[in-house]
Chains A and B, each alone.
Chain A
Amino acid sequence: MQPLAEAVRPWLDREPWRVAGIRQESRDTVSLELEPPAGCTFSFLPGQFNMLYAFGVGEVPISVSGDPATVGPVLHTIRDVGAVTHALCTLQPGQQVGVRGPYGTHWPMAEAEGGDVLVLAGGVGLPPLRPAIYHLLAHRQRYRRIALLYGARTPGDLLFPGELAAWRGRFDLYVQVTVDAAAEDWRGDVGVVPDFIGLAPFDPATTTAFVVGPEVMILFTVRALIRAGLRDEQIFLSTERNMQCATGMCGHCQLGPFLVCRDGPVFCYRPLAPWLRRREA
């Protein structure tokens, strides 16, 4: 049978998956646990995404946000921002979703071995990084120091707070969480992710950084990483463009010479840098 990524027509080419569970992660973000149909084996690499199809409504690219090593329902974390994501966020257990994938490039987990790793996430940038964090922790001895810096708008927007607390409790992981602003009952930090790079434990010479968030946040964060001594080629980011086909054919996701669905969404900052700096590229 063709790999699932070859199935370019949702619903038609392959049986839909079923919603096995739903979790309200925050006011506007839902995680769907999707169960593949019998006989379908699915695996993905951290950073890749699936195209999820809501029957009759449309298809959107959603990063796989679960543990790449587990078998069983596949986790996708979706923010409700439009017609399709709204349809997906309001699905009930047992309902069907068209799934095809995985598509795109992945985080350089192997290349980062032997050095320090900085994971920097802003807002809904954490779900695409979560599989990478699971991988780092599952193979902890292959990496030196690991630091997670995560920023959100307000405490109520923080995703996976229970997991963050558990991670923070580990001795082999540095976790810094921050919010843009908070009410007086917040005992955590207030500031933006770039503010905390200076305090994180890493050796710039041997660090690999993974950055995901709104493009402005990525730009500020990358700037701060370079000021802290990282070179362009040590920084990886996941970027977003209008992806409709996910197969490199519809032309919408172009970012200069790159097709984000095919050459990304994970990119090394170095080749991407000139294009990110060009306005309206």
Chain B
Amino acid sequence: MPDITKTPDATKTDVLIVGAGPVGLFAVFELGLLDLKCHLVDILDRPGGQCAELYPEKPIYDIPGWPLITAQGLVDRLMEQTAPFKPQFTFNRMIAALEKRGDGSFRVTTDDGEVFEAKAVVIAAGGGSFQPKRPPIPGIEAYEGKSVFYSVRRMEDFRGEDLLIVGGGDSALDWTLNLQPVARSVALVHRRAEFRAAPDSVNKMFALHEEEKLRFQIGQVTALSGEGGVLRSATVKGPHGEVDIPCTRLLPFFGLTMKLGPIAEWGLNLHENLIPVDTEKFQTSEPGIFAIGDINTYPGKLKLILSGFHEAALMAQAAKHYISPAERIVFQYTTSSTSLQKKLGVA
């Protein structure tokens, strides 16, 4: 019988790494030394995870050998360090499904249906996947996907609609400007008259407001009205009381938060949204699936980047053994091993 799970266009890799934060990146290095090729999938649009998304400019003081390094600086150096191993990246995607095959390998599917075949899986997903923050507006869930959207995939979807955009950063301002010619009307709501967004966008927005081509309202959205997921208007609490703004689409841009997401549905043992592992292999309850960095838990766990690096090194040995059980792993130092130095491109 033909294997119906086999898709001809699946991307093949040795190790699929879920998450391209510092620990996922360092795993590429450790696995690379053992001749394993990696493909990383991350929900963000660039490598670095929390370091890149939450605090790129912030100093880190506890990376061994670096008395001070910025979070982005660390990510840049990890990218440089892993470059010899030519890791592949898929950004803006999360892993939706994971399935173990009869031969012990894995079939992994992203949220947009791209399929990977990997010999082992490493979950280095930190605090989970970054997802848009949902504003605490009562009953907003009922409108999501119908009238409330947290991203714009196709501008055409908003043609002829009455838009209410909320936020003061670049996403809010950029979409206000880009959708203004497409939409029937645009209102922008922000809690104050100062913006984080690029000054040029802010000036353009105020100019359109002056020309009455859009409406800018200071305040915070407190309630929605409509029925069956079809939005009619939003209540905005401003400095001078409440106003009702008619709208058919609401686009809130309140930044990102971390959620465990689909990992919870992969059949792994979980403990308070963390994945328990052993401290020899950093393997999950499913052989061949490893978890390293902030997402895992074990007695004495410290959520430090340096702990994640250690976990990556030990995990790599175990993953190699899982993939090639018959092969003897010779322990070597990068300082003195010609074979390792060849892999690094320095010998």
Q: State yes or no: do A and B come from one complex.
A: no
